[in-house]
Amino acid sequence: ELAGLIRSREVSPVEATEAYLERIPTVDPSLNSYITVTADRALADARRAEGEIAAGNYRGPMHGIPVAVKDQFYTKGILTTGGSNILKDFVPEEDATVIANLDQAGAVLLGKLNMSEFAMGDAFHHPYGRPHNPWDLSRNAGTSSSGSGAATAAFLCATSLGEDTGGSIRGPASFCGLAGIRPTWGRVSRYGVLGASWSMDAVGPISRTVADCAMT
């Protein structure tokens, strides 16, 4: 729905991005879904998308859509922790392929989402705070990609990316009342993804509907 409104120029990418950036500090302190919010980057992405769409250069349904991604993926110039204090100062010099693809599609990057340390399943140690389920703050938001599930369910991003080794997309999607897709292994590049198990890791979307997952 948002993609259609952006394409028809009824809603600008900047307006949509500002709405999410205003909501995150209000709601997320009780959820711990974000590790890093990239407000300046997001607004720059949104202004670029707005200018391109106004000039008739619409890239497709992700153009101008505010998204957030699990902090397991390399993002050039942006802190990437893998949910661990070991990498609390790690800033990659390149993007993971999935991040480069989102950028090529014209998506707006709101920030990096919380996760269990190094994606180790339903770990109880979360150095950046344990993510909470938006439907019931006393409950778990799911395994590993918990921040992606919590942020998407709480409307702190339009859609998100998670990573699934043994259920870490499907679990948060199920726990948070969302849709998630674990792609066939190898279909989506793992380049620039902090690995949990090289032969099983798969990057995929966590969204509110199957159609949103397909779009992402």
Q: Which of 116, 144, 146, 160 is catalytic?
A: 144
Structure tokens that stand for 46 in this block: 């949104």
- Is 144 tagged catalytic? yes
Q: Which residues pair with 112 in a beta bridge?
A: 36, 69
Name which of 109, 128, 91, 102 is nearest 21 in CA terms.
109
Residue type for position 107: A
Residues 177, 135 contacting (CB under 8 angstroms): yes
Active-site option among 84, 160, 168, 207 = 168
Closest residue by Cα to residue 202 from 159, 158, 172, 170: 170
Contacts of 210 (CB under 8 A, 6+ apart): 179, 181
Name the one residue in this structure whose structure tokens are 């993926």: 73
Active site residue 160: no
Exactly one of 70, 145, 160, 207 is catalytic; name it: 70
Neighbours of 199 (CB within 10 A): 8
With CA atoms as reference, report the closest residue to 109 among 159, 53, 57: 159
From the CB of residue 26, how many other CB atoms can be counted at a distance below 10 Å? 9
Known active-site residue 70: yes
Residues designated as active site: 70, 144, 168
